[in-house]
Chains A and B, each alone.
Chain A
Amino acid sequence: MDLFAATASMDVIGKGLMVGLGFIGPAIGIGIIGGNYLKAVGRNPEAAKFFGQALVFVAIVELFGLLAFASTFIVK
């Protein structure tokens, strides 16, 4: 317990929770985008040309995960 108190304080746990919980949403979102892209390509191989647009949406979703990561530097 002494070791726990020395190394892990409440704000470290809080930051860990913040990053972990914040990454859940974007991970699900990127999974849905990727899965639907592959489903579309499987049904219709012509749809493979929209890979760039799929990446654009990945970047839009990804921003929220990055925001969760960046706020760990603001929280003291």
Chain B
Amino acid sequence: MISTILQHFAEDGPSIHVAPSGAFHLWGFTITNSILYGWACAVVIIILLIAVARKITVAPKGGLTQFVEAGADFISGLVEGAFDDKKRGRKYVPFFVTLFFFILLNNWFGLIPGVGEAFHRGDNPILRPFTADLNGTFAIGIFTMVFVYIASVRESGGIIKYFKHFFIGSPLNPLYLIIGLLEMLTDLTRVFSLSLRLFLNVTIGEIVIAVFSYLGHIAAPLTALPFTLIELFIGALQAYIFTVLSLMYLAIAVNHAHDHGDQDADEHLLTPEPTPETIKASKAHAS
């Protein structure tokens, strides 16, 4: 009897797709199921956020408006806090808030029953989460890093000044030259690490849910429920991490650029260190 059960498991496991597959053709391009889903999600997100933005008032509101408001407030606080100069940080708030909501809602909409294995056309599912496709996350990663590079070049004032930050000392020193080149190389791997992390987290979540709903047979909703809830948490966490990491990459470059600017200005001033507040207070107390 055990052998028949084992045979059953060995023969047909849950149907798992790691790569996207073509849904239909349009003007010579193959539209894959994840592209289709990404478009649908983008439209829903745009409509949702515009509708919420129209509804926002000074007095707090409940429901969906509150959720979007809390998310936007959280991310804008994070962005402003990451930069030394808050005014400089405020310019980048719209980009990061959009990024956060796009990834967050894409992850969460991917958990809706019906996305994934529910509807089939031939052997392939019709819909597939956009973030569970390496092409999709890679596109997000490239776009983000290009934005970060452009912004940091602009903030440091010229491309040569930007490249100078990779070198600790003079590039003519061979050791500093090699270290600087290695720094540039590690900078380029950020695209891969950002996109692979998001892709793997979401895809493996989908796979785990598929496996457990397969193992549950009749009780599939019961066995898949805890993993769906974990995925709900992981989807939010990954959106947060993607936003925070790309924000840190930008903030490091921008803050570094302005530290150097301040250093040159400080050299002329040569003011003595101001007395810390606590020492002043204790002196006042003693006298």
Q: Which residue numbers of A lie inside 8 Å of B, CB to CB?
A: 3, 6-7, 52, 55-56, 59-60, 62-63, 66-67, 69-70, 73
Q: Which residues of A contact B3 (CB under 8 A)?
A: 3, 6
User: When A6-B10, A56-B241 are in contact, do A63 and B197 touch as well, CB less than 8 Å?
Assistant: yes
Determine if A59 and B241 form an interchain contact, defined as CB atoms under 8 angstroms apart. yes
Mask: chain B, 243-258; 1 = CB below 8 Å from A; 0 = not:
0110000000000000
- Chain B contributes a number of interface residues (CB within 8 A of A) equal to 21
CB distance from B226 to the nearest CB of A (A): 19
Query: A-B pairs with CB below 8 Å: how many?
Result: 44
Determine if A67 and B200 form an interchain contact, defined as CB atoms under 8 angstroms apart. yes
B238 is contacted by which of A7, A59, A73 (Cβ under 8 Å)? A59
For residue B6, CB closer than 8 A to chain A, the reply is: yes
Determine if A63 and B196 form an interchain contact, defined as CB atoms under 8 angstroms apart. yes
Determine if B204 and A66 form an interchain contact, defined as CB atoms under 8 angstroms apart. yes
Q: Which of B160-205 contact A (CB under 8 A)?
A: 193, 196-197, 200-201, 203-204
Determine if A70 and B204 form an interchain contact, defined as CB atoms under 8 angstroms apart. yes
22 contacts between A and B (CB under 8 A): A6-B3, A6-B6, A7-B7, A7-B10, A52-B244, A55-B241, A56-B241, A56-B245, A59-B237, A59-B238, A59-B241, A63-B196, A63-B197, A63-B200, A66-B197, A66-B201, A67-B196, A67-B200, A69-B200, A69-B204, A70-B18, A70-B203
For residue B214, CB closer than 8 A to chain A, the reply is: no
For residue B92, CB closer than 8 A to chain A, the reply is: no
CB distance from B117 to the nearest CB of A (A): 16
| Cα A60 to Cα B3 with chains together (Å) | 42
Determine if A73 and B18 form an interchain contact, defined as CB atoms under 8 angstroms apart. yes
CB distance from A67 to the nearest CB of B (A): 7
| Cα A6 to Cα B237 with chains together (Å) | 41
Q: Which 4 A-B pairs have the closest CB atoms?
A: A66-B200, A59-B241, A7-B10, A7-B6
User: When A63-B196, A70-B200, A70-B204 are in contact, do A6 and B7 touch as well, CB less than 8 Å?
Assistant: yes
CB distance from A20 to the nearest CB of B (A): 16
Q: Which residue of B lies closest to A12 (CB)?
A: B10
Q: Which residue of A lies closest to B16 (CB)?
A: A73
Determine if B193 and A63 form an interchain contact, defined as CB atoms under 8 angstroms apart. yes
Q: Which residues of A contact B204 (CB under 8 A)?
A: 66, 69-70
CB distance from B200 to the nearest CB of A (A): 4
For residue B240, CB closer than 8 A to chain A, the reply is: yes
Q: Which residues of A contact B197 (CB under 8 A)?
A: 59, 62-63, 66
Q: Which residue of A lies closest to B78 (CB)?
A: A52
| Cα A37 to Cα B187 with chains together (Å) | 28
Q: Which residues of B contact A67 (CB under 8 A)?
A: 196, 200
CB distance from B37 to the nearest CB of A (A): 21
CB distance from A71 to the nearest CB of B (A): 10
